[in-house]
């Protein structure tokens, strides 16, 4: 029998400790391990934490921990099959020589919800076939989900800043024997992962009638029109039974009831998050609803199931609006692969289903398609399946609560407006996005050879726009036009270095980027708009596109309209930053880049000759322009390490950046990563720096 994860990891004599200081590790530089200050930090004249590194060892990797949980789970499953009568079917893997008691297994697998998540993702197919338990079976996804839960839910629920007892005492709080510490005003640190008893202790009570209806309506009115894969009638029925179901002990609930509660509380958490991002919300924290949902996650025990796809889609929707969205690409990718495994992408696999079930499967597949395409495009990664392998039609344009087989088997009249019209329009636009990504964003062709594809794809976008404007009134067009302009920017942006200012496409791209900022500004003036990671990425890249044009062509593109668009982008990022703290680094980086662009626009000829990185170093190096221009290398040859070393040795004044918080180091790193990208010359593809790279830049000390 293997030791528990905590015992084996703490007593492992072969476990390696950290050797590099945090600064060298973050910058991926070789640390010479000089004590107490390494040579890299000494040259940059910054603080080195080599002494702390030498006294502390890094925690065991999450992957190893997840493997140990997986082994414990499989041992428990094996013991269950060993106790079966001989006439019952058995699994198709070799039985263990050492039987494990169910009590010991339960003690292991329920001590950490990550073990249950692993089981939820990798138990096997619904056909009782042997299950693959390798690197693509969901284990790495479970690790990602465990880290996302730890970062965005567990720490937030037990945050000392929200705990009155800690504020009164001033000392660290203990929860079930685990100390929680935090710097003043900073994030909390949990010294151990969440366990099942912690989820139970911090679970949320069912919402009351008034708030429960408001939270559920927030999800149904704001998100369900985009992702219509849930049955509204079923959701309301679960909501009506929430008190009776919550009163039943967890172990006495059926699997269907557990999954119903999991789905309901996940919808509560998403709806509460939407309200929290768009209005004053003082009710149960969304994280507590999320933790309550996790208690019932183990009800979904089959990897290849419709319930699993719904679960992962809901988890992705939640985490897109949280502080950690690193794992969403893996999660939505697995959801799409399960769709493919079940054949949801082929129309032939739905012919034997009743009309309503077939329509629900179509809505589920296209919702997952929508999420995967938009996440893949935002992160610059390929999708799981090409469009040429999909022959499933879009959902019928009927009301989503329609159950009449005659209606669900006949083609609705053209121009009919229903509750699914909005989502169908967005699904069609995602298909064009997919064509753009496949045709333009590729590494095997030179960019100039792809220029002929631009006309055909732009024509498709214009046809979609014409169709959308005929379907929706002016008051309903903001959100569809936001996505249309995003697609136009996505299409034209790579070609900007190749286009002359006289080319209409250049100005079409700038107009689309400006409209993205203006529409976001209008949406934030409403009470129902709750932004996500994708919205932050969309408006941030639109603003950077405007700054690129301004930086490369200066007064030739400057206009009152561009000024208003840049100001709108800045305003939106500031509003987002006030509602979600993790957005502030994007807001501050954008302000740094604006300041540099304005200096060039208003400066003399010598100032205009500087690169973006040199300009920012000159600005934040005390304002001595002549000294900085003589000491900084030419912008074409400057390296990130040179810029970073120069920056970190200078004082960082807060003046010039409105309401800039004290800690601007992460924003400056992000701005310095973007500066060489803005300085690119002609004939260089204008690829946006990877968003995950920008996130990692700001996670250092």
34 three-state secondary structure: coil
Q: Higher confidence at residue 603 or residue 41?
A: 41
315 three-state secondary structure: helix
Q: Are 547 and 593 in contact (CB under 8 A)?
A: yes
Encode pLDDT of 525-547 as tens digits: 776 676 788 888 899 999 999 99
Q: Which structure tokens are listed for 55?
A: 């006294």
Instruction: Find all residues with CB under 8 Å of 145, minimum gap 6, and list them.
Output: 114, 117, 315, 327, 331
Encode pLDDT of 243-263 as tens digits: 998 888 877 888 888 889 999
The answer on pLDDT for 13 being more than 50 is no
Q: Which structure tokens are listed for 333?
A: 């990718």
Q: How confident is the model at residue 621 (pLDDT cuts 50, 70, 90)?
A: low
- Please state the rounded mean pLDDT for residues 584-602: 86
> 697: number of CA atoms within 13 Å, CB side?
22
Q: Higher confidence at residue 593 or residue 149?
A: 593
Query: What percent of the chain stands above pLDDT 90?
Result: 33
Mean pLDDT rounded to a whole number for the chain? 74
- Please state the rounded mean pLDDT for residues 154-160: 49
126-135, 201-210, 397-406, 678-687: range with lowest mean pLDDT: 126-135
Q: Which structure tokens are listed for 213?
A: 């209806």
Nearest to 125 by CA among 335, 296, 336, 341: 341
Nearest to 224 by CA among 263, 281, 277, 278: 263
Nearest to 393 by CA among 429, 354, 350: 350
End-to-end CA gap in the chain: 41
Q: How confident is the model at residue 330 (pLDDT cuts 50, 70, 90)?
A: confident
Encode pLDDT of 680-693 as tens digits: 655 566 666 667 66
CA 455/CA 436 separation, integer angstroms: 11
Instruction: Find all residues with CB under 8 Å of 115, minimum gap 6, and list them.
Output: 69, 70, 72, 73, 108, 109
The answer on pLDDT for 217 being more than 70 is yes
Note the pLDDT of residue 469: 93
Give 111-150 as a 3 state SS string: CCHHHHHHHHHHCCCCCCCCCCCCHHHHHHHHHHHHHHHH
Greatest mean pLDDT among 149-158, 251-260, 476-485, 518-527 lies in 476-485
Note the pLDDT of residue 696: 67
Q: Are 651 and 624 in contact (CB under 8 A)?
A: no
pTM (two decimals): 0.71
Q: Are 548 and 686 in contact (CB under 8 A)?
A: yes
Q: Higher confidence at residue 323 or residue 489?
A: 489
Note the pLDDT of residue 92: 35
């Amino acid at each position: 029998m293997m030791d528990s994860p905590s015992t084996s990891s703490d007593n492992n004599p072969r476990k390696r400790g950290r050797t590099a200081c945090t600064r060298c590790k973050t910058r991926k530089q070789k640390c010479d391990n000089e004590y107490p200050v390494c040579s890299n930090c000494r040259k940059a004249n910054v603080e080195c934490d080599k002494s702390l590194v030498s006294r502390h060892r890094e925690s065991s990797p999450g992957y190893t921990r997840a493997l140990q949980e997986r082994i414990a789970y499989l041992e428990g499953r094996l013991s269950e099959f060993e106790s079966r009568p001989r006439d019952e079917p058995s699994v198709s893997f070799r039985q263990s020589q050492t039987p494990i008691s169910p009590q010991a297994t339960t003690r292991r697998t329920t001590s950490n919800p990550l073990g249950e998540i692993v089981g939820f993702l990798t138990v096997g197919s619904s056909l009782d076939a042997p299950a693959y338990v390798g690197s693509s079976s969901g284990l790495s996804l479970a690790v990602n989900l465990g880290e996302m839960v730890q970062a965005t839910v567990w720490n937030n629920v037990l945050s000392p800043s929200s705990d009155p007892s800690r504020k009164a005492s001033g000392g660290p709080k203990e929860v079930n024997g685990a100390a929680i510490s935090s710097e003043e005003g900073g994030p909390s640190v949990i010294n151990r992962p969440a366990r099942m008893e912690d989820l139970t202790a911090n679970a949320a009570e069912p919402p009351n009638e008034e708030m429960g209806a408001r939270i559920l309506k927030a999800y149904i009115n704001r998100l369900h029109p985009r992702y219509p894969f849930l049955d509204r009638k079923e959701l309301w029925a679960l909501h009506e039974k929430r008190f009776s179901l919550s009163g039943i002990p967890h172990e006495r609930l059926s699997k269907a009831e557990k999954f119903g509660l999991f789905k309901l509380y996940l919808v509560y958490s998403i709806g509460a998050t939407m309200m929290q991002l768009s209005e004053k919300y003082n009710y149960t924290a969304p994280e507590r609803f999320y933790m309550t949902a996790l208690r019932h996650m183990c009800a979904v025990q089959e990897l290849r199931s419709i319930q699993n796809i719904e679960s992962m889609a809901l988890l992705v929707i939640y985490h897109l609006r949280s502080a950690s969205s690193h794992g969403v690409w893996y999660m939505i990718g697995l959801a799409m692969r399960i769709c493919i495994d079940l054949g949801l992408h082929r129309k032939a696999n739905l012919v034997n289903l009743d009309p309503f079930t077939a329509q629900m499967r179509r809505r589920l597949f296209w919702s997952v398609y929508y999420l995967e395409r938009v996440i893949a495009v935002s992160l610059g990664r390929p999708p799981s399946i090409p469009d040429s392998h999909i022959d499933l039609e879009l959902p019928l344009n009927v009301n989503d609560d329609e159950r009449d087989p005659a209606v669900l088997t006949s083609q609705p009249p053209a121009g009919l407006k229903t509750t699914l019209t909005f989502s169908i329009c967005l699904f069609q636009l995602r298909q064009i996005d997919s064509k753009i990504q496949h045709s333009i964003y590729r590494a095997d062709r030179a960019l100039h050879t792809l220029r002929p594809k631009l006309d055909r794809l732009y024509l498709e976008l214009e046809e979609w726009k014409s169709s959308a404007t005929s379907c929706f009134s002016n008051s309903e067009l903001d959100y569809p036009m936001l996505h249309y302009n995003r697609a136009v920017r996505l299409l034209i942006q790579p070609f900007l270095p190749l286009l002359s200012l006289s080319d209409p496409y250049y100005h079409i791209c700038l107009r689309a980027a400006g409209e993205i900022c203006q529409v976001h500004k209008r949406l934030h003036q409403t009470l129902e708009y709750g932004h996500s990671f994708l919205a932050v990425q969309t408006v941030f890249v639109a603003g950077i596109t405007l700054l690129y044009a301004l930086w490369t062509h200066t007064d030739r593109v400057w206009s009152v309209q561009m000024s208003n668009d840049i100001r709108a982008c800045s305003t939106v990022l500031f509003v987002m930053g006030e509602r979600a703290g993790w957005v502030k680094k994007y807001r501050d980086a954008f302000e740094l880049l604006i300041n540099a662009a304005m200096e060039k626009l208003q400066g003399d000829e010598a100032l205009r000759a500087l690169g973006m990185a040199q300009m920012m170093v000159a600005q934040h190096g005390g304002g001595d322009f002549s000294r900085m221009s003589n000491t900084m290398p030419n912008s074409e040859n400057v390296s990130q390490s040179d810029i970073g070393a120069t920056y970190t040795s200078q004082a960082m004044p807060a003046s010039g950046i409105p309401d800039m918080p004290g800690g601007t180091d992460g924003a400056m790193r992000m701005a310095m990563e973007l500066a060489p990208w803005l300085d690119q010359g002609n004939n260089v593809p204008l690829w946006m720096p990877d968003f995950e790279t920008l996130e990692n830049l700001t996670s250092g000390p």
